[in-house]
Structure 1
Amino acid sequence: MDRSDPTLHRDNPDSEPLIGNIKVTRDDWLNIAMAALIRDGVEGVKIQAMGAALGVSRSSFYWYFKSRQDLLDALLEHWRHTNTAALVRMAERPADTITEAVGNVFRCVINPALFDTRLDFAVRDWARRSQEVRAVLDASETQRLSALQAMFERFDYPPLEATARARILYYMQIGYDDAKLNEPMETRNRLMPAYLVGFTGKTPSAREVAELRAYANALDPVKGANDGSA
């Protein structure tokens, strides 16, 4: 970003306090609301508290949003256009083999720049408290699973098997993240070829394994440097 621009966009509002004569943007409000949602749940998304953290009055909020509900709707839209859109996009990405295609899905879910796991679980928790949010979550789940099923069908899996494999892949990943194993990337890298066999019934090529391991290590170079399996 051009630092001569007086408008500030911050990816981490918690660690980058506002200083000087800086205008708070709509993205600032969305960022701090998202951080509150992840940290404290939807009950923690409070206009007054966020305004105090940003160092601005409530009038700044109403410049961008009609109400707190308008902000909450914007958070859901952000989630849909990041997490869900990224998963669908990577499932639809061209691939020569089903193991390469599933590897693309792996690339999505291990990369927080594409898929924010913390935000996904914050929305799931929110959905337990709101029928409206549950409906949005259900629609996104359907979209994600449909994309994964279509991915398997592109490689000639029968529809029923494609549906089952899509669900195994998707719900395993959700459960994997929910377990919060905090395992090192080297463990994932060692298991990854076997995961690909388990999800697809096919053996990945050495090239596919090497490229996927390199991608994972690039996301976490410290752990990747200790990975003797790459």
Structure 2
Amino acid sequence: MDKTAKRQIAANGNIKATREDWLELALETLISDGVESVRVLSLGQKLGVSRSSFYWYFQSRQDLLDQLLTYWRETNTHFIIDRASRPSATIIRGVMSVFECWLDVRLFDPRLDFAIRAWARQSDSVRKRIDQADDERVAAIRDMFLRHGYAPDDAFVRARVLYFMQIGYYSLELHEPLDNRLSLVAAYLRSFTGQEPTDKDIADFAAYARSVNSPQK
């Protein structure tokens, strides 16, 4: 059952909204309409439940907003750090692990990241969280380069180039067919690492990319 059908059933009074229902709808609303639209009354109306349902799971609207920030950190930031921290035989393989985040929306959702960045323009506390997340993500990628023998300044700059280039890619809303993106992977890997990927590196990455972008996913 898709989300729309589930909410229609809820509106007819046949099921109750769960905490996950509230969070899912709040996330969707944050991404599509911004933080100002994340309101208890309007969310409840869409779910077909009363405000009392909300307060069963959340102390306040601010509690809900805090949990949205927690979710964002535990997905978008967590997986970049996780992939950058994985043991890798070569720096090429390490960078390929980070690239997984750019291919799989379950690891990094750019729409959510930019919804949080838009929110940060209205909130100093959220701005601090964005700055902290950017620093943590870059630091994890820098440490990956350090583990593979790069000098500190070189590791830091390469990490910033890799990370901020991808954020810029998203901000420009570029949309390239997967085949076009894969045709440039070797060049990107050379640019970010200064090393030459093997044919197996490229083949393995292409296989991963196609697996997470298959119609069944």
Instruction: Tell me the TM-score normalized by structure 1.
Output: 0.89
Residue 31 (structure 1) aligns with: 24
| Contact 1:47–1:58 (Cα < 8 Å) also in 2 | yes
TM-aligned CA deviation for residue 23 of structure 1: 2.4
CA distance in 2, matches of 1:16, 1:116: 23
Deviations 1:146-193 (A, max 9, x none): 100000000000000000000000000000111111110001000011
Corresponding residue SS for 2:49:
coil
Out of 189, 195, 201, the position equivalent to 2:194 is 201
Q: Please state which structure has a larger fraction of its residues in helix.
A: 2
Map of 1:182 onto structure 2: 175
Q: TM-score, normalised by structure 2?
A: 0.94
- Report what 1:172 is aligned to: 165
CA deviation string 1:20-74 (max 9, x = no partner): 6322111111110000000001011011111011010011001111111110000
Report percent identity of matched pairs.
49
Which is bigger in relative contact order (C-alpha 8 A, separation at least 6)? Answer: 2
Residue 7 of structure 2 is aligned to residue 17 of structure 1: yes
Per the TM alignment, residue 14 of structure 1 is displaced from its structure 2 partner at its CA by 4.4
After the TM superposition, which residues 95-134 of structure 1 pair with which residues of structure 2 at under 5 Å, given as runs? 95-134=88-127
State the Cα distance separating 1:82 from its structure 2 match. Answer: 0.7
Q: Distance in 2 between matches of 1:109 and 1:18?
A: 33
1:55 aligns with 2:40: no
Question: Residue 203 of structure 1 aligns to a residue in which SS?
Answer: coil
Residue 143 (1) aligns with residue 146 (2): no
4+ residue runs over 4 A deviation: none
Partner of 2:213: 220
Asked whether the 8 Å contact 1:87–1:105 carries over to 2, the reply is: yes
Taking only aligned residues, the RMSD between alpha carbons, in angstroms, comes to 1.4
Gaps of 5+ in 2: none
Q: 1:148 and 1:102 mapped to 2: Cα distance?
A: 8
In structure 2, the CA distance between the partners of 1:89 and 1:54, relative to structure 1 (3 Å rule), is same
Gaps of 5+ in 1: 1-9, 223-230
Contact 1:127 1:133 in 2 (8 A): yes
- Kindly state the Cα deviation for residue 18 of structure 1 after the two structures are TM-superposed: 4.5
